[in-house]
Amino acid sequence: MSSRRALTAMTIFKQRIDDLRARINEYNDAYYGRSESLISDVEYDALFKELADLEKLYPEFDSPDSPTHRVGNDLTKSFAKVRHAVPMMSIDNTYSASEVSEWVGRVEKALAGDADGEDIKFIGELKVDGAACSLLYEGGRFVRAVTRGDGIVGDDVTANVRTIKSIPLVIPHKEPMEVRGEVFMTFSDFSALNDGLVEAGERPMQNPRNTVSGTLKLLDPAEAARRKLSFAAYFLLSSDTSRSVSLYDNAKFLAEIGFPVVEHSELLSGVDAIMSFCGEWENKRHTLPFPVDGVVIKVDSFEQQGRLGVTAKSPRWVIAYKYAPERATTTVEDVDWSVGRTGIVTPVARLRPVLLGGTTVRNASLHNYDEIERLGLRLGDTVEVEKSGEIIPKVIRVRVEERSADSVPYAPPTVCPSCGSLLARLDGEVALRCLNRSCGAQLAASIEHFVSRAAMDVRGMGSAVVKQLLDAGMVKDAADLYGLTAESLLTLERFAEKSAANIVAALEMSKNRPLDKLIFGLGIRMVGDSSARDLAGAVEDISEFYKMEIGELELIEGVGLLTAQSIRLFFDRPENTDMVERLRAAGLNMKGNKGKGGMPSGVFAGKTFVLTGTLERHTREEASEIILRGGGKVSSSVSKKTDYVLAGSDPGSKLDKALSLGVKVMDEAEFDGMLTVTPT
């Protein structure tokens, strides 16, 4: 009887092991094959740990084909294969401080041997949430980029990686070098990409990490360039053995020769110092412009790493401490639909207020009705929301098991919530769209975009003022704004002489804004601030776009086929060119930068800046714009190629790195003193 029970139990465990392997393989296929996350990292890691534990408990059911013995595989058929000189292995991870402590104990025990009390130093690196990549340099030149692949062989993605501007194409050392690091996407670039996709009626990307993985595998390098990937190095393989003493010195050398380097600690001794560094960055990571999901802890000495060795899947000298996801549970009280400037109607979940990542959350992104259907969302549902690199959180799961028995499926609107026109879905689009070009919400969104700080920067003209102007029939498009007078504004409610005069003065000042700000402000589909700068740099006057063919537009850097088609459609409409000419008549700047490298040269020509801390006189965006207008560049990380670090209050580790590298540090007063001509 007891043997039968034992057999039954063994059968149950065998079935559970088989089920876990099947599910994990399914999730791996989605993640590595389609750049799609079917479950959260925490859920995946929990399943993986359960499988590993069961295989240890029942070794008779272990198998070399188990996902616990394999490095994740992102190989595809479309790219040439390259064998890694040294395997790119996976890293064991944990969410538990006690498991980090146990790992440190194992390391200390393994290295003790006959030398009790051997000095062991660790280094903590921020775990940038992107995709691992290897860069090969020969004769001082970048020659190849390879994904991790299956750890032994990776995909050759050189053409796409070459578009990443933070990667140096030439380095001051001739010996063969392999630089390993993380390709990632900043929150702002991810949001801008998704905004463009939603505006174009396409499905938005899921999160920055999956977007990076998919971008590296694009067959069109021009499209990869438009997505604006970034890179941070964490390891150098070199034929020069002097580069292979310790990770700390290795990273320092990488920064000295011009690579952006993963943010890392000073040398750490023991568990307390390690967990202190991890705890410090758990909140500080929110100040970073890119996603960080933990800290990678490594033994610093290469000699000690060699003695610790590796398992079939991962090195014994490294572990990742991952932060618990920023997730909260709340209730969907309603779904509101907003109309954008291109007519796309976007749903936003209105939530019962909940604390998430230190802020109170009341709204969550849904993007489009297809997302509502995918989630199976209904009003009153209990949902999990998570921050994933977007401006507002995202609904990631509906707790169907907690749903009320009388709930009914949610039906999308059939008419525009602004003008009442029937909504349509264009071929190939997932978005609902209002096709009425006289729709008040579209006009309001269009004008709000035009006067925004990133476009024409008309201070004092917020959404409430725009609504008043439209309701009063005083404006019908952006050109009408420049016919406003203080007297006409005083006819509106809550306007005093000073506020009216301020808006008229702001409109007058906006006339001197550079052409790229005007192009961006026009709201041409798929034209963001970066491509607007490229367009302004390609013409002497905006009127050149009136007749420019799609093929000519495609030749402009940063402009692909779809963007070129969108530009052509915009300027083919007489009402649009008429508005542009009315803006010209009002005195707005229409002159481009053709022959000037796309940006006017100035006091910052050829100089690279890094901004850190809080500035008093300028926002980060304003300071960056001043640098760009002066012909300079703005980088997110400090290296030996950085010319200046502009430091405000609470500057953080970038200031320390600048001082250690001998990079010039300036305060805001010194920065303003360099401006011989105030940028416009």
- The alpha carbon dihedral of 598, 604, 606, 611 has a sign of negative
Q: What is the distance between the alpha carbons of residues 360 and 270, in angstroms, rounded to a whole number?
A: 37
Distances (CA, A) of 513 to 5, 108, 451: 80, 62, 11
**Alpha helices (H) along 87-186:** 97-112, 158-161
Q: Are the C-beta atoms of 652 and 179 separated by less than 8 Å? A: no
Q: First CA to last CA across the chain, in angstroms?
A: 88
Q: What share of the chain is helix, strand, coil (3-state, %, to 5)?
A: 40, 20, 40
Is position 127 annotated as part of the catalytic site? Answer: yes
Q: Are the C-beta atoms of 410 and 379 separated by less than 8 Å? A: yes
Q: What is the distance between the alpha carbons of residues 460 and 272, in angstroms, rounded to a whole number?
A: 51
Nearest to 290 by CA among 217, 191, 158: 191
Distances (CA, A) of 356 to 95, 204, 255, 377, 386: 19, 23, 35, 21, 8
Q: Which two tokens stand for residue 251?
A: 């990273």
| Cβ neighbours around 647 below 10 Å, total | 23
Cα 313 → chain centroid: 29
- 468 membership: H or E segment, kind and range: helix 463-471
Q: What is the distance between the alpha carbons of residues 40 and 387, in angstroms, rounded to a whole number?
A: 12
Q: Are the C-beta atoms of 666 and 646 separated by less than 8 Å? A: yes
402-430 b/e with 16+ CB inside 10 Å = b? eeeeeeeebebeeebebbeeebeeeeeeb
* 608-612/644-647 β-pairing: parallel
Nearest to 345 by CA among 427, 450, 410, 421: 421
Any idea what DSSP says for residue 51? H
Q: Are the C-beta atoms of 86 and 146 separated by less than 8 Å? A: no
Q: Which of 121, 127, 228, 394 is catalytic?
A: 127
- The alpha carbon dihedral of 399, 346, 285, 296 has a sign of positive
| Cβ neighbours around 264 below 10 Å, total | 21
Name the residue with tokens 């997730």. 327
Fill in the amino acid letter for 73: N
| Cβ neighbours around 57 below 10 Å, total | 10
Q: What is the distance between the alpha carbons of residues 626 and 531, in angstroms, rounded to a whole number?
A: 18
Q: Which two tokens stand for residue 379?
A: 């009003």
Q: What is the distance between the alpha carbons of residues 82 and 88, in angstroms, rounded to a whole number?
A: 12
Q: Which two tokens stand for residue 522?
A: 């026009």
Q: Which two tokens stand for residue 351?
A: 């939530």
Nearest to 638 by CA among 664, 658, 618, 656: 658
- 385 membership: H or E segment, kind and range: strand 382-386
- 133 membership: H or E segment, kind and range: strand 131-138
Question: Exposed (0-12), middle (13-18) or buried (19+): which is 105, by Cβ within 10 Å?
Answer: exposed
Q: Radius of gyration (Cα) for the chain, nearest Å?
A: 28
| Cβ neighbours around 503 below 10 Å, total | 21
Residues with a known catalytic role:
127
